[in-house]
Copies of this chain bind each other. A is one copy, B any other.
Amino acid sequence: MLYLIGLGLAKGDMPYRAKEVLKRAELFAESYTSFIGDEYIEEIEKEAGKEIKRLERSDLEEKASEIVGKARDRDIAVLTGGDPLIATTHKILFIEAKKRGVRTEVMHAGSIITAAIGESGLDFYRFGQVITIPEWSEKYKPLSFYEVIDRNLSNGQHSLLLLDYSEVKGSSMSIRAALEEIEAAEAHYRKGIISRGTSIIVMKDVSHGNAERLYCSLEEAKEKDLGPGPALIIIPSKISDVEKEVMDSMYPR
């Protein structure tokens, strides 16, 4: 059996029923699509009484076949940040197992998607398509994310923007870098949907003790730069009266 076990957002978010499985299974953890602290993994290792093998992204892509092969005869558990089947790279294992008829069990856990939307104060049903802001390289500076924000706004929908995660840096891109890309996209498309004065929401370390949440202008968000850590941006469409009332109680003034 191949178990895909979600670690959620913060230390201790793993479903408690996973503990039984960890005792009998060979354990792997991926470490590249989200922030899984070493401390969290070490706590689980202690509980399970065995080592958890760390996988890099390249490992997982190469070793998917090997891991699934092992799971044919014995219990293998792969621990992943967030909710296991959301990141495409985690899904590789699931699909490989399905193709080869290897039994799977997924233990779902908290995802940044529903956590951030819930903690924003905005209405879940008013969000449009989710977007990842790509980290630019010297040679590749895509801007097409702007088209999704534009379409969401035209539809009266809020946009949740996840920030690209760099395995090399071990962190997501900074809020400031993402906001600069959005400004560059506005300068390119010139549809006038975003300016320095646009009110946006930024969040860092959702669900952690040091979580930060701001509702302010794009310019202020750039200046405050919340520092490293898993972060995201929400570009709201027109905020309803009910949403406004909720938000009034939730954000520092």
A-side residues, CB < 8 A to B, are: 6, 8-19, 82-86, 88, 91, 95, 98-99, 106-111, 113-115, 117-119, 121, 123-132, 151, 155, 157, 207, 246, 249-250
Contacts and interface: CB of A to CB of B under 8 A. Distances in A.
Interface centre among A118, A128, A249 (most CB of B within 10 A): A118
Contact of A98 (B82, B125, B249): B249
Given A86-B124, A108-B110, A126-B129, A15 B14 contact: yes
A14 B13 CA distance: 8
A224 to B, nearest CB: 21
A118 B85 contact: yes
Contacts of A119: 85, 106
B113 A113 contact: yes
6 contacts: A12-B18, A15-B110, A98-B250, A108-B207, A125-B129, A127-B129
A117 B10 CA distance: 22
A126 B129 CA distance: 7
A46 to B, nearest CB: 13
Contacts of A106: 115, 118-119, 207
B130 A124 contact: yes
B86 A114 contact: yes
